Amino acid sequence: QIVEFISEYGLCEEGLFRVSGNAKVIERIRADFDKGDLVDLEVYRDDVAAIASVLKFFLRELPEPVIPTYLHDMFIRAQADNESNEKRCIRELRGLVAILPK
């Protein structure tokens, strides 16, 4: 739900994941998610940074990183080695995504 919202409303926000949202809004959204409620993120459309901050909190709290440590350098290298060739970069990144643990 959060990723879809950010994809729709936040991708044009400069520095979205560097800027923290309003702390009270972040806590309210997290509390709603913690209760298992379906959260109406449209209410917070003016503070996309707060929604992105909730996603950052969630990712930090995962027991294992989304990209395992043993694959991290491979992801970095795939992007760095293919900066001038977007299609090849995408192909290599997709290959790496395919081997991520389920």
Maximal C-alpha separation, the chain: 46
pLDDT in tens, 66-97: 999 999 999 999 999 988 999 999 999 999 99
> Do 5 and 43 touch, CB atoms closer than 8 A?
no
pTM of the model: 0.75
Distances in Å between the alpha carbon of 56 and those of 2, 27, 79, 82, 95? Answer: 11, 13, 22, 27, 25
Residue 13 pLDDT: 85
- Give the position of tokens 């440590």: 69
Residues 11-53: tens digit of each pLDDT: 888 888 898 889 999 999 999 999 987 889 999 888 999 999 9
CA distances from 19 to 14, 55, 69 (A): 9, 13, 25
